[in-house]
Amino acid sequence: MTRAVIFDLDGTLIDSAPDIHGTANTLMTRHGLAPFTPAETRSFIGSGVPHFIACCLRARGRAGDAALKAQLIAEFIESYESAVTLTRVWPGVPEALAALGAEAMPLGICTNKPVRPARSVLAHLALDAHFPVVIGGDSLSARKPDPSPLQAAVAALGARDVVFVGDSEVDAETAARAGLPFALYTRGYRKGPVAAIPHDRAFDDFNALPEIVQSLLS
């Protein structure tokens, strides 16, 4: 059976926080709410758009406004697909993906970002050719940390021996619930210290990833 690597997207392969911050503040201004700092919106990232919007409204004292929440979710998703211009690939990512591809190792994405914005930003950054499988936050009825999206990505790749690479507590829990080894990228959007996040290997330089994958799958 095939060995494979599956990645989270936001905070793991890409720094999308500036685009997410800009999109959120456009909505806040539109609805007469105070804008956020970059650090605030970054702390909301990781569990999908409904959670992100819920965090925004909670921070502005509007957590109980279900109608506004539904409207903001719809408006955010509508804007999200084109919110790519400020997003950057983390250093070393293209080289790491090429090295893994040279080992004939199929690659996939498992993200809580909706699938259309995920595919849009991958195409914008010329990363899409690396990923025949993209599972988004709206691909199934459940999102990470439920293991089913990650399990769906594994099945779609036809893989048995898989490493999951992510940057957050949500990703660590997802890997654990799916029974997969987890490599933690430490420069992403985690909420707490590295030592508090269960992981098999941690790294802050993507040049180290191919060797980490080989060791975890050996």
- pLDDT tens sequence across 116-136: 999 999 999 999 999 999 999
For residue 18, count CB atoms less than 10 angstroms from its CB and return exposed for 0-12, middle for 13-18, buried for 19 or more. Answer: middle
**Between helices 66-80 and 49-59, what is the axis angle to 10°?**
130
pLDDT of the residue at 2: 86
Q: Which domain holds residue 119?
A: 2-15+87-217
- Contact at 8 Å (CB) between 42 and 189? yes
Kindly state the greatest CA–CA separation across the chain.
Answer: 55
Which of the residues 8, 10, 19, 171 is marked catalytic? 8
Residues linked to residue 203 through DSSP beta bridges, in sequence order: 185
- Do 73 and 92 belong to one domain? no
- Residue 3 confidence (pLDDT): 95
Query: Are residue 33 and residue 115 in the same domain, yes or no?
Result: no
190 and 166 within one domain? yes
Supply the CATH number for residue 176's domain. Answer: 3.40.50.1000
User: Is 65 one of the catalytic residues?
Assistant: no
CB 202 within 8 A of CB 184: yes
pTM higher than 0.75: yes
Could you tell me if 126 and 35 lie in one domain? Answer: no
Q: Are residues 174 and 105 in the same domain?
A: yes
**Predicted local distance difference test score (pLDDT) of residue 42:** 92
> Can you tell me the distance from the alpha carbon of 25 to that of 36, in angstroms, rounded to the nearest whole number?
6
Q: Which of 42, 59, 80 is the last residue of a domain?
A: 80
- End residue of a domain, out of 53, 80, 107: 80
Instruction: Indicate if 113 and 64 belong to the same structural domain.
Output: no
Whether residues 23 and 109 share a domain: the answer is no
In the prediction, which pLDDT does 80 show? Answer: 87
pLDDT of residue 218: 87
Provide the number of structural domains found in the chain.
Answer: 2
Please tell me whether residues 113 and 149 are part of one structural domain: yes
Q: Could you tell me if 124 and 140 lie in one domain? A: yes
Separation between Cα atoms, residue 92 and residue 40, nearest integer Å: 27
Whether 10 and 24 map to the same domain: the answer is no
Where the chain has pLDDT below 50, the residues are none
